[in-house]
């Protein structure tokens, strides 16, 4: 049973559109907002969003809006599915439009360079507390392309308030889309954001022509880095063994759908970062997250050799093969020395 029958989804890219479809399947009316008028027109006139999800027909319960104020009329639950770099700007518009406390769910994956803030922290900073009921993060191994085909998918709704996480579980859960709850917001947000760095690395490795051994090494030692930084930042290390940690790492490093893996793959084949990003045409969150996490790890004195290597390839044009050679040539370590 759903408690509410109308929601706003902000962001009409692949993830916002796919999650709108899940909500509409659960008989929830969706006001889907986007800033590109032609996409909103297509959603309303043809019930498709072919730029992001070709061959998918959207349920009639989804209505497109290009005006944010209209999209927020009579809703008290808002889902954000925009790139991390747009979060503060959008929340600032929300705060000037709503006059009742709202629940904000976010489904974005990133860390802000410079401030090193997680998305829920940015939302809490920008939204006055009397207008913010709860913040919930929705994360896990979930490519929009498969969700929109109604293929079995599992995710996690995390909030410091169990009731809020359970509310979001109820909104989204159906026979194709299974939702778990979790109280570890820090671990869930960090797992979802940091796996994108490792997915760039997995793509680079594949692009260089390396095999499954190299990719398994990157994923496993990448997870060790994520858990090391996460523990330092207050996450429960066990969260990284769950859907939003190892689960999302697997799906992003091994799926042809992943934008981050595809970006790494093209870079590994020798393309420039600018060419790669314009070729993909969708947000590749791992690039900005690599920049943020490289500096954060330095500040916190946490060892993250894979992240550092990927940073050098992305931002200092280091040869990717040389970066792998240097990772392999590090001094011998004990796998259990730090617990990770
Ligand atoms: N695509 C997927 O399968 C999944 C994506 N995510 C996360 O969801 C977030 C959104 O990703 P996608 O939907 O894949 O991206 P996308 O590139 O498909 O769509 C992003 C949408 O945001 C819009 N946008 C960009 N800048 C904006 C701004 N300043 N103001 C308003 N709108 C703006 C774009 O026009 C586009 O409609 C990312 O953080 C991503 O990591 C999470 C899970 C799955
Ligand atoms: O987070 C995702 C799947 O869970 C999507 O990853 P990409 O952004 O790499 O496509």
pLDDT tens readout for residues 109-155: 999 999 999 999 999 999 999 999 999 999 999 999 999 999 999 99
Q: 63, 117, 195, 215: which one is catalytic?
A: 195
Residue 143 Cα to ligand 2 middle (Å): 6
Domains identified in the chain and CATH numbers: 6-183 (3.40.50.720), 186-328 (1.10.1040.10)
- Is 2's pLDDT higher than 90? no
Residue 209 Cα to ligand 1 middle (Å): 30
Q: Quick: pLDDT tens for 66-121.
A: 999 999 999 999 999 999 999 999 999 999 999 999 999 999 999 999 999 999 99
> In residues, how long is the chain?
340
Q: Quick: pLDDT tens for 248-276.
A: 999 999 998 999 999 999 999 999 999 99
Quick one: 218 exposed, middle or buried, by C-beta within 10 A (0-12, 13-18, 19+)?
Answer: buried
pLDDT at 58: 98
- Residue 259: nearest ligand to its CA? 2
What pTM did the predictor assign? 0.97
Residue 140 labeled ligand binder: yes
Band of pLDDT at residue 339, cut at 50, 70 and 90: low
Question: What does the block give as tokens for 306?
Answer: 């894979």
Summary mean pLDDT of the chain: 96
Chain-centre distance for alpha carbon 228: 20
Band of pLDDT at residue 340, cut at 50, 70 and 90: low
Strands (E), the chain: 6-10, 29-33, 62-65, 77-80, 102-106, 132-139, 153-158, 177-182
The fraction of the chain above a pLDDT of 70, given in percent, is 98
Match 């929601």 to its residue by tokens. Answer: 7
Residue 260 labeled ligand binder: yes
| Selection from 144, 258, 129, 246 nearest residue 206 by Cα | 258
pLDDT at 336: 76
Q: Quick: pLDDT tens for 144-167.
A: 999 999 999 999 999 999 999 999
Residue 318 labeled ligand binder: no
Residue nearest to atom 8 of ligand 1 (CA): 108
- Is 232's pLDDT higher than 70? yes
Residue nearest to atom 22 of ligand 1 (CA): 82
Residue 195 known to be catalytic: yes
């Amino acid at each position: 049973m759903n408690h509410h029958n109308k929601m706003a989804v902000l962001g009409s890219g692949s993830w916002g559109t796919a999650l709108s479809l899940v909500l509409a399947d659960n008989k929830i009316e969706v006001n889907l907002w986007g800033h590109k008028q032609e996409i909103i027109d297509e959603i309303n006139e043809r019930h498709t969003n072919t730029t992001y999800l070709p061959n998918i027909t959207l349920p009639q319960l989804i209505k497109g809006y290009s005006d944010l104020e209209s999209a927020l009329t009579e809703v008290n639950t808002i889902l954000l599915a925009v790139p991390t770099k747009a979060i503060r700007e959008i929340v600032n518009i929300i705060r000037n439009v709503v006059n009742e406390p709202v629940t904000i769910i976010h489904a974005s994956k990133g860390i802000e360079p410079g401030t090193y803030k997680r998305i829920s922290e940015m939302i809490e900073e920008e939204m006055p507390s009397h207008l913010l009921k709860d913040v919930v993060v929705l994360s896990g191994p979930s490519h929009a392309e498969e969700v929109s085909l109604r293929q079995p998918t599992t995710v996690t709704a995390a909030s410091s308030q169990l009731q809020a996480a359970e509310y979001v579980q109820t909104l989204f859960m159906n026979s194709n889309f299974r939702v778990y709850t979790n109280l570890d917001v820090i671990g869930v947000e960090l797992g979802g954001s940091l796996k994108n760095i490792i997915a760039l690395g997995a793509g680079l490795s594949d692009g260089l022509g390396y095999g499954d051994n190299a990719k398994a090494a990157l994923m496993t030692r990448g997870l060790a880095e994520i858990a090391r930084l996460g523990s330092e930042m207050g996450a429960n290390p066990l969260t990284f063994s769950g859907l939003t940690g190892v689960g999302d790492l697997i799906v992003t490093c091994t799926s042809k759908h992943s934008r981050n893996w595809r970006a790494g793959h093209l870079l590994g084949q020798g393309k420039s970062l600018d060419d790669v990003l314009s070729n993909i045409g969708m947000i590749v969150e791992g690039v900005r997250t690599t920049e943020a996490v490289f500096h954060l790890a330095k500040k916190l004195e946490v060892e993250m050799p894979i992240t550092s290597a990927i940073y050098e390839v992305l931002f200092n044009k280091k040869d990717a093969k040389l970066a792998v050679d240097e990772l392999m040539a590090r001094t011998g370590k004990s796998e259990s020395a730090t617990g990770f």
